[in-house]
Amino acid sequence: MTAKNILILAGDGIGPEVMTQVKRIIDWMNGKGLTNFVVSEGLVGGCSYDAHGTPLTDETMQRAMDADAVLLGAVGGPKWDNLDFSLKPERGLLRLRKDMELFANLRPALVFDALAEASSLKLELVKGLDIMIVRELTGGVYFGQPRGIETLPNGERRGINTQVYTTSEIIRVAEVAFDLARKRGSKVHSVEKANVMESGLLWREEVQKLRDAKYQDVHLEHMYADNCAMQLVRTPRQFDVIVTDNLFGDLLSDCAAMLTGSLGMLPSASLGGDLGGGKRRALYEPVHGSAPDIAGQNKANPLACILSYSMMLRYSFGLLKEADLLDQAAQNVLNAGIRTGDIMAAGCTPVGTDGMGDAILAELTKLHG
Ligand code: NAD
Ligand code: IPM
Ligand code: MN
């Protein structure tokens, strides 16, 4: 394999803690000749604001554009909550997504057998659960214009955000969902609120047209977002692939996370369009945030970040065997009852963030040599 450039942006709070464990795994895989990754690091979020007065410098943005893949930890925290909106840590992450055109955010919610008891739902409802949420990531109310806060003539203030989708934005993300469904259970739920929003109605019409034209072998159901939230906690196994907009996808993926036992378990891949030659821009990050309540205490579960790295192996570099190896190591460690606090259960062995990293590395060595 020719050398690939990986940019690591660990970010704030628990971001650097969980990323440290990923870096150990990268070193191990490079050392075994399984990968040939050249890693460089940069700042995003609050740490970038502290160093440079902006949550993302143009230079770091350019490095992300040029990298073969980007790995991100998490951004944000109370220290930066009162900054001007344009300087908030989250703006750095949103600019990365927008400028890299990462329109498809894949958020798998997978229940490991060993963790089925850690779910907030009954074991029989979640055992074997395997949902893929495809969240549109560069459009919708997150980016729509007009937006802002304005003062009206009567002195009242008004906050404005706009939900907008164009047909091409809907179609490209729906194609990702249908293509994934073909490799899985051949079922897509398209989620919006076509009953109250025109953008939702357009979403529904375009997804249906696409299915009829190109994906007749895939079963398509339309569902309102509020109902979907309810169905996710009622009978989650009815879902295979869910495709939805930016905001609904944000909410529904946090909800799906709890079905798997913890937000600390959920990885994600954000993929851009085809750049030719099989290349596409991509960023991999856990679904969770910077978890200020446990930051700096060696308590964070690094598995969401580690499994995001596994998605990078799979989706950016086609290193399927290596991704399987890492997924298997994670599964074995969980089967052996090794647990961070968020997924702790009676009779299990408690470990911290670094202890989970140790366990994964030991398991990788056992499986691979
Ligand atoms: P959060 O995901 O940081 O934390 C929610 C809860 O989950 C907390 O109780 C936390 O301790 C727990 N948790 C999260 N990740 C965990 C892990 N790996 N192991 C164990 N427990 C974990 O969400 P929040 O508290 O709403 O947000 C905190 C900050 O993070 C905010 O500034 C927010 O904007 C930011 N945020 C960033 C991202 C990102 O960078 N992608 C995502 C979500 C939130
Ligand atoms: C996520 C986060 C982000 C989002 C924030 C931090 C900008 O919640 O990645 O899920 O809302 O998309
Ligand atoms: Mn979120």
Pocket of ligand 1 contains residue 289 by CB under 6 Å: yes
| Closest ligand 2 atom to 75 CA | 6
Question: For position 138, what pLDDT does the model report?
Answer: 98
Pocket of ligand 1 contains residue 290 by CB under 6 Å: yes
Helix 198-214 vs helix 167-182: crossing angle, to nearest 10: 50
Question: Which residues are CB-neighbours of 238 under 8 A, at least 6 positions away?
Answer: 231
In this structure, the residues whose C-beta lies within 6 A of any atom of ligand 2 are 76, 90, 93-94, 250, 287, 289
Q: Which ligand has the shortest distance to the CA of 290?
A: 1
11 within 8 A of 284, measured Cβ to Cβ: no
Annotated binding site: 77-90, 97, 107, 135, 226, 250, 254, 289-301
| Closest ligand 2 atom to 253 CA | 10
- To the query of whether residue 212 is one of the catalytic residues in this protein, the response is no
pTM of the model: 0.96
The answer to whether the 1-104+264-369 and 130-259 domains have the same CATH topology is yes
Question: For position 118, what pLDDT does the model report?
Answer: 82
- To the query of whether residue 226 is one of the catalytic residues in this protein, the response is yes
Neighbours of 107 (CB within 10 A): 24
**Minimum CA distance residue for ligand 2 atom 7:** 90
Tokens of 110: 């997978």
Question: For position 120, what pLDDT does the model report?
Answer: 86
Cis before 267? omega within 30: no
In the chain, where the domains are located: 1-104+264-369, 130-259
- Beta partners for 223? 191
At 72 the three-state DSSP class reads strand
CATH of domain 130-259: 3.40.718.10
Tokens of 153: 């003539």
Q: Which residue out of 287, 290, 301, 356 has the highest number of ligand 1 atoms within 8 Å of its CB and is therefore the one to mutate?
A: 290
> Would you say the ipTM is above 0.85?
yes
Neighbours of 243 (CB within 10 A): 28
CB-based neighbours (< 5 A) of ligand 3, an ion = 250
Q: Which ligand has the shortest distance to the CA of 285?
A: 1
CATH of domain 1-104+264-369: 3.40.718.10
- CA–CA gap between residue 48 and residue 10 (Å, rounded): 11
Question: For position 347, what pLDDT does the model report?
Answer: 93
* pLDDT one digit per residue (tens) for the chain, 369 residues: 799 999 999 999 999 999 999 999 999 999 999 999 999 999 999 999 999 999 999 999 999 999 999 999 999 999 999 999 999 999 999 999 999 999 999 999 999 999 988 888 999 999 999 999 999 999 999 999 999 999 999 999 999 999 999 999 999 999 999 999 999 999 999 999 999 999 999 999 999 999 999 999 999 999 999 999 999 999 999 999 999 999 999 999 999 988 888 899 999 999 998 888 778 999 999 999 999 999 999 999 999 999 999 999 999 999 999 999 999 999 999 999 999 999 998 999 999 999 999 999 999 999 999
- CA–CA gap between residue 90 and residue 314 (Å, rounded): 27
